[in-house]
Structure 1
């Protein structure tokens, strides 16, 4: 947000990432949309704080003992590489990737179960996700981060490592909440198709986006906040595009009010569904596994009420020898399971191609 010494160019950032990964030091790196330099912080002398604090926050889709919310409160920044390199390594912690990916037949069956729930009026929308796991050496992570910055110029590219708890990298297009000069900003983002598609958006995608917009308006109303929204427009994110509505919220910067707004917005219908409590109950049962930090959010927040927080999408969990891409899509009663599978394939193409090149 401010701290100039916390920012560095991508070449220097690669050295910092390599330094922390080889020494098992908790750290974060974040290149915000449209920016050239990245924010960096490492925490060596104490463990990351469980829960919310001033620093870099990492919040799971559903909080649990295995997937806690935590904050990296840095005691080293981008200007401290030589000091970091002089530190002895912290104890190594085994990686956490386990389980198998969801195949096509399993995905179709789970999609049908979700669609049945919506046709029975248990929910209006549910998001089904799956994983794609590939071999990948963690020593290539600095190159991967740099390649994601190039491929996703208008995304928030991030990496966070808390060994034994959470190691994640991604390029998310979805803003959750950002402080602005006169308040805050958020967005409703939904629907996915190849970039440059000439046809009008189908009804299913327009309804899906409307669910997200209406949810945000209700959260703002509950928080007694006034916002001005744009008309819904098509927003490109690398090789795909989405429907988007931007919201400018009039409110003084205040940490407690900001945290209440974050709690109300997360998880949005774009990653969970509607009603939110029903979606959070049904998704783990139908998917049959924990999403961990996919569908949660990451970003900086301080004690003055400022923040830059993004939804954890288009992202990969990693350990020493592999990466696991999480990809999902919104289902409604109008959904066709095979079409939804194809949408997850489209969403995964860019990030998988970046993996193959880096």
Structure 2
């Protein structure tokens, strides 16, 4: 049975995973047409700190901060879908494999998805609360307690009637060709969807390590060459760059290429981005992916600088639980390598509503009303999918 491949649609596979209480991850890499998915047949999903190089093929889904409620999740690739065929791993458990194939033959049930066991713990940040937190953050930055902090919030939006996560995933993939598009559904943990513009750690099949400094936000213009950036955004992006360089320094890594900053489009927004790459065939650093992951997360683009006071400020003043928003996710040791992205421009599916998330980088020059508007714009990435569905 180990080498059996079968033709099935993504709807059938996702539906069978939900019906069988299995964890499933669906993704599409930036500038790719290929939709991929993997499923785990067993029930043990939680894991410790990810070790990328030693990991079997699968999909990591990790929170902003590990807690008793939100833990690092690893979906082992017992079954892999390459966009056309579904194939089992050599070590996939035979009995559960047969049970899953039986579920695949059944007519797909309603458009269901796994929901979180912790929904009653969800809190929401009000406009007034968010703007007050921004004011406090500016005061703390002026008092030199930190240089920058990222404050975020969430908002509920009703799901359209007959909502289908798979159809919404395909709409996201069409709307955001340059983003990492994902749909992750885990029993007890819930279902998250997103279109992230930000690489955290990537190692491709050519053994090239890649990370980015991404910061600064404004509404997209037709031609990126016409973008004009304020000092606030330029400084914010430079902070993220400096943080990545400080991580390289800690690891005594000197051989890397740096390109940027340049203006990039991400849906209806533009950001400043600098790319950092390391050729692992030339530089002998076998654990660079795992080491950088530990140093980078949470990045200054989702937390702040210096990291510790910014994190403490977030926990004290943000006023709600980020859960898996601004954590990271992506496939590891797949045929195209390991690609972990920051979980931005995302939403969590509840039974009848979607919980949308967005954040803004606060520096000394921040204006509370303007930062609120920035989170509104960022929520449109997912809001657009729900409204045009």
Select between 142-151 and 179-188 the one with higher mean Cα deviation: 179-188
Aligned partner (choices 338, 345, 349) of residue 307 of structure 1: 338
The aligned residue for residue 157 of structure 2 is: 134
Q: Is the 8 A contact 2:117 2:190 kept in 1?
A: no
- Alignment length (residue pairs): 350
Matches of 1:251 and 1:35 in 2, distance apart?
Answer: 23
The aligned residue for residue 118 of structure 1 is: 141
| TM-aligned CA deviation for residue 22 of structure 1 | 3.6
The aligned residue for residue 150 of structure 1 is: 174
> Against the structure 1 CA distance between its residues 6 and 314, is the aligned structure 2 distance closer, same or farther, given a 3 Å change threshold?
farther
Matches of 2:6 and 2:336 in 1, distance apart?
Answer: 20
| TM-aligned CA deviation for residue 39 of structure 1 | 1.7
Aligned partner (choices 88, 112, 119) of residue 97 of structure 1: 119
Question: Which runs of at least 4 in structure 1 moved beyond 4 Å after TM superposition?
Answer: 5-8, 92-95, 252-255, 303-306
Matches of 2:325 and 2:16 in 1, distance apart?
Answer: 25
Matched, 1:293 2:324: yes
Matched, 1:241 2:270: yes
Matched, 1:343 2:371: no
Alignment of 1:57-68 (within 5 A): 57-68=60-71
> Against the structure 1 CA distance between its residues 149 and 200, is the aligned structure 2 distance closer, same or farther, given a 3 Å change threshold?
same
| TM-aligned CA deviation for residue 14 of structure 1 | 3.2
Alignment of 1:250-265 (within 5 A): 250-252=279-281, 256-265=287-296
| TM-aligned CA deviation for residue 13 of structure 1 | 2.2
| TM-aligned CA deviation for residue 135 of structure 1 | 2.3
The aligned residue for residue 186 of structure 1 is: 211
Report SS of the residue matched to 2:221: coil
Matches of 1:162 and 1:168 in 2, distance apart?
Answer: 9
TM-score, with length taken from structure 1: 0.90
After superposition, the CA RMSD in angstroms is: 2.7
The aligned residue for residue 159 of structure 1 is: 183
Matches of 2:5 and 2:130 in 1, distance apart?
Answer: 42
Alignment of 1:75-90 (within 5 A): 75-78=78-81, 79-80=85-86, 84=100, 86-87=102-103
Matches of 2:337 and 2:227 in 1, distance apart?
Answer: 39
Matches of 1:265 and 1:138 in 2, distance apart?
Answer: 39
Report SS of the residue matched to 2:119: coil
Report SS of the residue matched to 1:185: strand
Unaligned 5+ segments in structure 2 are 88-96
Q: Is the 8 A contact 1:117 1:123 kept in 2?
A: yes
Select between 52-61 and 17-26 the one with higher mean Cα deviation: 17-26
Matched, 1:220 2:223: no
Q: Which of structures 1 and 2 has the bigger CA Rg?
A: 2
Select between 305-314 and 330-339 the one with higher mean Cα deviation: 305-314
Q: Is the 8 A contact 2:215 2:237 kept in 1?
A: yes
Unaligned 5+ segments in structure 1 are none
Matches of 1:7 and 1:336 in 2, distance apart?
Answer: 55
Matches of 2:40 and 2:293 in 1, distance apart?
Answer: 24
| TM-aligned CA deviation for residue 165 of structure 1 | 1.8
Matches of 1:223 and 1:214 in 2, distance apart?
Answer: 14
| TM-aligned CA deviation for residue 321 of structure 1 | 2.2
Q: Is the 8 A contact 1:7 1:39 kept in 2?
A: no
Select between 127-136 and 302-311 the one with higher mean Cα deviation: 302-311
Report SS of the residue matched to 2:271: strand
The aligned residue for residue 269 of structure 1 is: 300
Matches of 1:94 and 1:272 in 2, distance apart?
Answer: 24
